[in-house]
Structures are given as structure tokens and as C-alpha cells.
């Protein structure tokens, strides 16, 4: 084998090594991207689950469960708009709300009446 043939053989081997390295880099980049997208999908699925639970709990009036979820999970606080709603709702003083009855007020029977609120409070009044 001549020196030229030997040099050509070495050059071909180096060229193949470079191609292998380029394919290797491309494969690593694809695998990294696949892992990143898988994590994004998992996060989106978890956000979707949180939103579905909020909808179910709100339909059932279970604000305490929503509040508990918001306190425990950072992702729930980032995802759900319910934190603002619960703060607004809990800041209302339910005792300050005044009910203004219509004409049936005059037709009511006098006596003692109890109002029970969902937060466990109650109010007693006499007519």
C-alpha cells in the first residue's frame, strides 16, 4: 500500500467519524426535545386535571376543596383563576348582606327565624 492509499483510507475513516458525530448530535438533540415536550404535555395534563376538578367542585359548591387545593399546589395557584374568586368571596361579610323582601313580608307569620350560612355561621331574627 502506498502512502497515498494509506492517506486516502485514513481520510475516509475520519470523514465517517465526523458523519457519525453529526448524526449523534442530531439524535441527542431530538431525544432532548422529545423529553422536553413530554414534560410539557405532563404539565398541561395536570393543569387540565386541576381545571376539571375546580369545575366539578364549583358546581357542587365545594369552595373549601378548591381553597385547599390552591393552598397545597403551586401549579394550582398558577393555573386556576379561582384563587381571586375565593379571596373576593371570603372577603365579603355575609352578615352585611341585606335581603329586602317583597310583598310577602307583610303576609309572614311572626316568630323566631334562623338563617344558616354555608360557612357555618347563623343569624337569628324575630318578626
For the segment 61-116, what is each residue's pLDDT rounded down to a tens digit?
A: 888 899 899 999 999 999 888 877 777 665 554 444 445 455 454 555 666 766 66
C-alpha cell at 86: 375565593
Kindly report which listed range (36-45, 51-60, 106-115) carries the lowest average pLDDT score: 106-115
Neighbouring CB atoms inside 10 A of 68's CB total 13
Dist CA 89 CA 63 (whole Å):
10
Res. 119 pLDDT band, cuts 50 70 90? low
Cα-Cα-Cα-Cα torsion 73, 79, 81, 86, nearest 10 degrees, comes to 0
**Average pLDDT, whole number, for the chain?**
82
d(CA 68, CA 82): 11
80: cell is 386556576
pTM of the model: 0.55
| Dmax (CA) of the chain | 120
Amino acid at each position: 500500500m502506498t502512502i497515498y492509499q494509506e492517506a486516502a483510507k485514513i481520510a475516509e475513516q475520519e470523514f465517517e467519524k465526523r458523519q457519525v458525530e453529526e448524526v449523534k448530535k442530531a439524535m441527542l438533540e431530538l431525544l432532548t426535545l422529545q423529553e422536553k415536550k413530554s414534560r410539557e404535555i405532563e404539565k398541561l395534563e395536570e393543569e387540565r386535571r386541576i381545571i376539571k376538578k375546580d369545575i366539578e367542585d364549583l358546581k357542587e359548591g365545594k369552595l373549601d376543596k378548591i381553597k385547599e387545593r390552591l393552598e397545597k399546589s403551586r401549579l394550582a395557584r398558577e393555573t386556576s383563576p379561582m384563587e381571586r374568586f375565593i379571596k373576593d368571596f371570603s372577603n365579603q361579610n355575609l352578615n352585611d348582606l341585606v335581603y329586602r323582601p317583597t310583598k310577602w313580608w307583610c303576609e309572614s307569620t311572626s316568630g323566631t327565624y334562623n338563617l344558616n350560612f354555608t360557612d357555618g355561621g347563623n343569624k337569628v331574627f324575630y318578626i
